[in-house]
């Protein structure tokens, strides 16, 4: 157990000064609430006084709060004695001569709360180390504890609508909040990936999830956005090969077989183009904590505008959970926290369960999301990728009615409509483009 002097855990004078300032002028209360909540106060009597002040402030249309109102409120709730009686209440009111320094006092209170959280986390880390076990699991648990402190702080962020409303309206009118996916019909249905969004792209195996993500990443990077790809399935080298082939519009399998010189020239030229694009690939970041650390490092460096994760099924929560459902629920929440904490849209790929395979209509539904209902709950947008050609070929390998149509089914859209968007898919190049009429897609 870590031994810490109690005086380091709390600043009693700043707590009293914060409360005294709030009682002297209700106008400082919104600014104080940006920094502290009831849990920020160490002394129980200060918690109760704070809750009384805030309760009165919210009940009173004019916002006025004073000592007499607070005394009456506490007496009615039978809490006056619990906060030290009239003598202590009077002492708090007389702590400061004016309310000008309210935010300064509140910041000191908040800093002490963070220190107490740090001590608590350190004690938990001590227990994790003492318990022993797998070292990788211990490291993941320590990272989770550190990330949880960031999540708690982010959850307390408060935005004054009067300060931000016009900026939000301007951004929305200019269409500057979302990063376009680069497909015309899809961008009309879902106007881009917004900071803080968790976007799921889900499909059965072999539908082309990674190919679609590569196309989206290329489109975004070509528009100047800084793209991070966290690859858990493919190697970075393999993913770069696919990005080059997608940009060149050539078949990667043909490249490996020794194609004509003009195809090789296109492939090489595409590699030169790719070198100029702001794309970063990271392998094997399997836990949310590791992914958050990478995003944070990039934010502090050259920056990152959007993160792709391929794919959720290979992630691990780093926690001891009783089943995969609970683990995926924790992963889902962590990815949403990551998107919100660092104000970066996260596009995460996910597999579907086999339920859609047993239906006559193979189109996916939200209930087909694999392992956890939390994915549907936490995601801002859920897109399913469905290719009818894939099932036609399964039924008839010699089928000639293949038209390359791929359906992006927007099954959930928190801020807009749902529906189906058609793209064109070329199996030869493993690439998606804006939809074209059947049998007119140029695969070269």
Provide CATH 1.10.860.10 ranges for the chain.
6-131
Neighbour-count burial of 155, counting CB atoms closer than 10 A to its CB (0-12 exposed, 13-18 middle, 19+ buried): exposed
Over range 381-393, report the average pLDDT.
88
How far apart CA 128 and CA 211 sit, in angstroms, is: 41
Residues 347/268, Cβ–Cβ less than 8 Å: no
pLDDT score, position 423: 92
> What is the pTM for the complete model shown?
0.65
Question: Class assignment of domain 6-131?
Answer: mainly alpha
Examine the pLDDT at 285 and tell me if it is beyond 50.
yes
Integer CA distances (angstroms), 425 to 187, 336, 405, in order: 17, 30, 6
Dump pLDDT digits (tens) for 405-416: 889 999 999 988
Comparing CA positions, the residue from 195, 192, 193 lying closest to residue 184 is 192
Cite the active site residues.
233
Q: Among 246-250, 391-395, 401-405, name the most confident range.
A: 246-250
Q: Which residue has the tokens 């690439």?
A: 431
Average pLDDT, the chain: 83
Question: How much is the pLDDT for 159?
Answer: 60
Helix ranges restricted to H, 25-100: 29-33, 44-59, 67-76, 85-93
If pLDDT is split at 50, 70 and 90, which confidence band does 322 have? low
Task: Look at residue 178 in the predicted model and tell me its pLDDT.
Answer: 85
Alpha carbon distance 75, 81 (integer Å): 8
CA angle 344, 345, 346 (to 5 degrees): 110
pLDDT of residue 173: 65
Where are the CATH 3.40.50.300 domain residues in the chain?
178-434
Q: Which residues contact 283 (CB under 8 A, 6 or more apart)?
A: 231, 232, 235, 236
**Top CATH class, 178-434:** alpha beta
Across 385-395, average pLDDT: 83
Lowest mean pLDDT among 70-79, 178-187, 275-284, 357-366: 357-366
Q: Rounded to whole angstroms, how far apart are CA atoms 135 and 121? A: 18
The string of pLDDT tens digits covering residues 417-430 is 999 999 988 878 88
405-413 and 419-426 beta bridge pairing? antiparallel
Residue pLDDT, tens place only, 13-52: 999 999 999 988 888 887 788 788 888 999 999 999 998 8
């Amino acid at each position: 157990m870590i031994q810490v002097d109690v005086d380091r855990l709390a600043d009693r004078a700043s707590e009293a000064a914060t409360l005294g300032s709030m009682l002297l002028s209700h106008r400082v209360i919104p600014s104080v609430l940006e920094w502290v909540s009831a849990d920020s106060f160490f002394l129980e009597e200060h918690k109760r006084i704070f809750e009384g002040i805030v309760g009165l402030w919210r009940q009173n249309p004019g916002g006025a709060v004073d000592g007499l109102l607070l005394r009456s409120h506490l007496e009615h709730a039978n809490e006056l004695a619990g906060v030290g009686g009239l003598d202590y209440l009077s002492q708090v009111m007389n702590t400061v001569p004016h309310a000008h320094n309210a935010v300064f006092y509140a910041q000191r209170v908040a800093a002490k709360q963070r220190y107490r959280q740090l001590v608590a986390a350190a004690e938990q880390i001590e227990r994790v180390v003492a318990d022993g076990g797998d070292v990788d699991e211990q490291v993941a648990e320590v990272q989770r504890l550190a990330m949880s402190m960031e999540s708690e702080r982010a959850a307390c962020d408060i935005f004054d609508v009067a300060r931000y409303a016009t900026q939000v309206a301007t951004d929305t009118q200019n269409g500057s909040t979302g990063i376009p996916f680069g497909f015309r019909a899809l961008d009309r249905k879902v106007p881009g990936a917004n900071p803080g969004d968790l976007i799921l792209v889900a499909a059965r195996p072999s539908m082309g999830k990674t190919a679609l993500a590569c196309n989206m990443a290329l489109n975004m990077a070509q528009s100047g956005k800084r793209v991070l790809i966290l690859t858990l399935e493919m190697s970075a080298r393999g993913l770069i090969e696919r990005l080059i082939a997608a940009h060149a519009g050539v078949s990667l399998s043909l490249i490996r077989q020794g194609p004509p010189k003009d195809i090789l020239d296109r492939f090489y030229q595409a590699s030169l183009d790719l070198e100029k694009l702001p794309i970063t690939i990271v392998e094997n970041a399997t836990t949310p904590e590791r992914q958050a650390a990478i995003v944070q490092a990039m934010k502090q460096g050259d920056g990152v505008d959007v993160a792709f994760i391929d794919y959720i099924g290979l992630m691990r929560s780093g926690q001891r959970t009783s089943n995969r459902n609970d683990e995926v629920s924790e992963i889902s929440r962590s990815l949403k926290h990551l998107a919100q904490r660092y104000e970066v849209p996260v596009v995460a790929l996910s597999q579907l369960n086999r339920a859609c395979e047993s239906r006559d209509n193979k189109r996916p539904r939200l209930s087909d999301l694999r392992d956890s209902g939390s994915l549907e709950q936490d995601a801002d947008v859920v897109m399913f990728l469905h290719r009818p050609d894939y099932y036609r070929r399964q039924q008839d390998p010699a089928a000639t009615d293949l038209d390359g149509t791929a359906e992006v089914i927007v099954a959930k859209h928190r801020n807009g409509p749902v529906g189906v968007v058609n793209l064109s898919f070329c199996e030869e190049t493993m690439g998606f483009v804006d939809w074209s009429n059947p049998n007119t897609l140029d695969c070269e």
